């Protein structure tokens, strides 16, 4: 896909391809963005903010968002849910009469690698991600509605989206163009995280039954 224009929402949140996140829309300019994309193709871009919350320097990596659901609120604000579509590289701002930002972006995909993850590694990553998601669901009493992709690249991003890492660490994962690098990173981090999450989930379940339980 050649470079193209996209409405942009600079935000201290990392959206990964294949993942879903909720957002609260309250600023007038982003209410207008919501109205415009709702009437159009329902797509906009989320990317890291620059100085004073504006657009970052050219070269920043973001992710296109597909609007999946809107809950309009009486005060004109809205709760929305978006899904991550494709990564992009921000090329520069585009002059517009819109109160929100518009920019020129280009696709940002993985590089071709000689050494790719094995099927066994991908199966292990998927199994760990499923266990971690199940533990989070149990611990938080919520259904995440996750269906992990069979596409290796998307699977890595869906797994990364579950992890409670800092914005900077999550952004580094988004910017990684190496499938091998992301799989290695996740296979290193997930086992300990799964163990802790499952332990917390067991204690949470016990506390609901008897009112007691503490993580030691």
* Stated pTM of the model: 0.90
Within 8 A by CB and 6+ apart from 170, the residues are: 14, 16, 160, 163
Residue range 89-118, pLDDT digits in tens: 999 999 999 999 999 999 999 999 999 999
Task: Spell out the domains of the chain, with CATH numbers in brackets.
Answer: 4-107 (2.30.130.40), 119-210 (no CATH)
The DSSP-derived string for 126-188 is: HHHHHHHHHHHHHHHT--------SSHHHHHHHHHHHS---HHHHHHHHH---HHHHHHHHHH
How much is the CA Rg of the chain, to the nearest whole Å?
Answer: 19
Per-residue pLDDT at 12: 96
Residue range 42-71, pLDDT digits in tens: 999 999 999 888 999 999 999 999 999 999
Alpha carbon distance 61, 90 (integer Å): 6
Cα of first residue to Cα of last residue in the chain, in angstroms, is 52
| Residue 175 CB-half CA count within 13 A | 13
Kindly report the number of other CB atoms within 10 A of residue 32's CB atom: 15
What's the CA angle centered on 163, arms 185 and 189, to 5 degrees? 30
Give the residue ranges of the chain where pLDDT is below 50.
213-216
């Amino acid at each position: 896909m050649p470079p193209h224009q996209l409405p942009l929402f600079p935000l201290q949140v990392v959206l990964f391809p294949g993942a879903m996140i909720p957002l609260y829309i309250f600023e007038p300019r982003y209410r207008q963005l919501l109205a415009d994309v709702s009437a159009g193709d329902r797509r906009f871009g989320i990317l890291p903010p620059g100085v004073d919350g504006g657009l970052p320097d050219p070269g920043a990596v973001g992710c296109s968002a597909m609007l999946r659901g809107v809950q309009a609120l009486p005060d004109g604000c809205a709760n929305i849910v978006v899904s991550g579509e494709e990564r992009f590289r921000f090329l520069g701002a585009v002059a517009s009469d819109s109160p929100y930002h518009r920019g020129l972006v280009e696709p940002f995909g993985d590089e071709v690698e000689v050494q790719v993850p094995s099927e066994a590694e991908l199966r292990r990553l998927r199994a760990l991600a499923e266990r971690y998601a199940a533990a989070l669901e149990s611990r938080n009493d919520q259904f995440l509605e996750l269906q992990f992709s069979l596409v290796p690249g998307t699977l890595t991003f869906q797994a990364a989206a579950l992890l409670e890492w800092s914005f900077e660490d999550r952004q580094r994962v988004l910017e990684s163009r190496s499938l091998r690098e992301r799989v290695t990173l996740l296979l290193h981090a997930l086992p300990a995280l799964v163990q802790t999450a499952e332990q917390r989930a067991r204690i949470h379940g016990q506390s609901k039954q008897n009112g007691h339980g503490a993580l030691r």
